[in-house]
Amino acid sequence: MNAPTSPSLRTGPLNLITDVPGIEVGHYQANHTGTTVVLARAGAMGGVDVRGSAPGTRETDLLDPVNLVDRINAIVLSGGSAFGLAAADGVMGWLEERGLGWPLGEGRVVPIVPGAVLFDLERFGRDFRDRPTAEFGRRACANLTAGAFPLGNVGAGAGAIALGCNLKGGLGSASLDLGQGVRVGALVAVNPFGSVINPATGELLGASLGIGEEFGPLPRPVNPSTSPPPAPALLRNTTIAVVATNLALTKAQATKLAQMAQDGLARAINPSHTLFDGDTVFALATGQIPLAALEEDAAWGSLPAALIRAGAAAADTLTRAVVHGILQAESVGDTPCYRDRFPATPLPAE
C-alpha cells in the first residue's frame, strides 16, 4: 500500500511535467527506440547534474554556472547510446525555423539544446544501426504539447529496461503543487542497471512517496521472485531525467535543483549512479514566480531554505516519476512489465 502522505501535498492537475507553465513535451518512437523533447518555448534557466560513470551527453559544460549562456530552449532525451545524440540536430533545425535560440542579430539564432542518451542498442531484436537520428528529434517536436502526453513505451522510454529486476522500463512523469502558484515537475526515462523493486516483496522502491492513491492503490504483489544476474555483455543502461519549475532561479540555483533531484533516482533505483549508468538530471526554471514566494513556508524564512524546499520537492517528484514509468510500461518480447510480472498490481489512477 502507499505510505501515508501529508494532506497538504497535492499533484498538479495532470500530474505531469507539463503542469509547470511554459513546459511542453513531445515524443517520437519507432521499433522500440525513441526520443523525447522537453521544450521551454520562452527559454528557461538551466542546470545539470551528471552522477553516473558512463554518460552520453551534449552541451552539459554550457550549463556550468561560470559559463556565458544562461537560457536554454529545449532538452533532448534519447535512446541509441551516443548515436542518439544526433536527435538534437533535428530539434535545433526545428527551433531555428521558428526563430527560437540564442540571438545573433538579423534574425539569426543558435538554439541551445542540451541532451543525454541511454543505452538501448540492439534491444528487442533491433539491428545495431536502427537507432534515433535527427529525424526522430524533428518528429518529436511535431508532437509537442503543453497538455497531457503518453507514458511508458514512448519516446526515450521505448527501449528502456530495468536490468536489475528484469522488467521493462519506460517514460514516467509526475508533478507537485507547492502552493502560491509554484509547480515542480519531473520526467524520466527509466533504464537502470539497478532494480526498481524490493526483491523480497516485489514492492516498488519509490512507491512510498505516492500522494494519496496516485499509484493505484498498490497491494503487495503476489509470488515475488528475483531474476538471475544479467550477463556481463548486457550491462549497458542509464536513467536520464528533467526536472522543471516555474520559479525564477539563477544558473547556480538551477544546478543545485538538479543535484538534489538526483536523490529521487537513488530512492527509486538500487543501486543508482553505477559504473554502467550515465545517470543525468537536467533542471529547467521558467522564471514566472520569484523564489521568495516560498520564503514564508520555508523552515528559516530565507532564500536558501526556499531553494532547499524546491530541491526536496524535485527529488520527491522524480522518485514518483520513476514509479509511473515502470507502472505504465508494457511487456516486450521476453521482458515483462511490472503489471504482468506481478498481476496483483492495478493500473495507476488517471
The CATH number assigned to the domain holding 151 equals 3.60.70.12
How does DSSP classify residue 225? Answer: -
User: In the prediction, which pLDDT does 346 show?
Assistant: 63
Q: Is 291 helix (H, G, I), strand (E, B) or coil?
A: helix
Q: Note whether residue 152 is domain-resident.
A: yes
Count of domains observed in the chain? 1
Q: How far apart are the first and last CA of the chain?
A: 18
Residue % of the chain over a pLDDT of 70: 90
Report yes or no: 341 and 223 within 8 Å, Cβ to Cβ.
no
Report yes or no: 38 and 75 within 8 Å, Cβ to Cβ.
yes
Residue % of the chain over a pLDDT of 90: 77
Q: Note whether residue 47 is domain-resident.
A: yes
Q: Note whether residue 7 is domain-resident.
A: no
User: In the prediction, which pLDDT does 4 show?
Assistant: 41
Q: Note whether residue 56 is domain-resident.
A: yes
Q: Note whether residue 261 is domain-resident.
A: yes
Mean of the pLDDT values across residues 26-54? 96
Q: Note whether residue 346 is domain-resident.
A: no
Mean of the pLDDT values across residues 313-326? 98
How does DSSP classify residue 29? Answer: E
Task: Tally helices (H) and strands (E) across the chain.
Answer: 5, 13
User: In the prediction, which pLDDT does 294 show?
Assistant: 85
Q: Is 187 helix (H, G, I), strand (E, B) or coil?
A: strand
Q: Note whether residue 6 is domain-resident.
A: no
> Of 200 and 84, which is predicted with more confidence?
84
pLDDT bucket at 229, cuts 50 / 70 / 90 = very low
pLDDT bucket at 117, cuts 50 / 70 / 90 = very high
Mean of the pLDDT values across residues 87-104? 97
Mean of the pLDDT values across residues 149-159? 98
Residue with cell 532564500: 303
Q: What is the pTM of this model?
A: 0.93
Q: Which domain holds residue 313?
A: 17-341
Cα dihedral 332, 335, 337, 342 sign: positive
User: In the prediction, which pLDDT does 200 show?
Assistant: 84
One-letter amino acid at 250 equals T
Q: Note whether residue 8 is domain-resident.
A: no
Calpha distance 85→293 (Å, rounded): 37
Cα dihedral 296, 299, 300, 306 sign: negative
Separation in Å, CA 291 to CA 92, 269, 299: 30, 30, 14
Mean of the pLDDT values across residues 164-172? 95
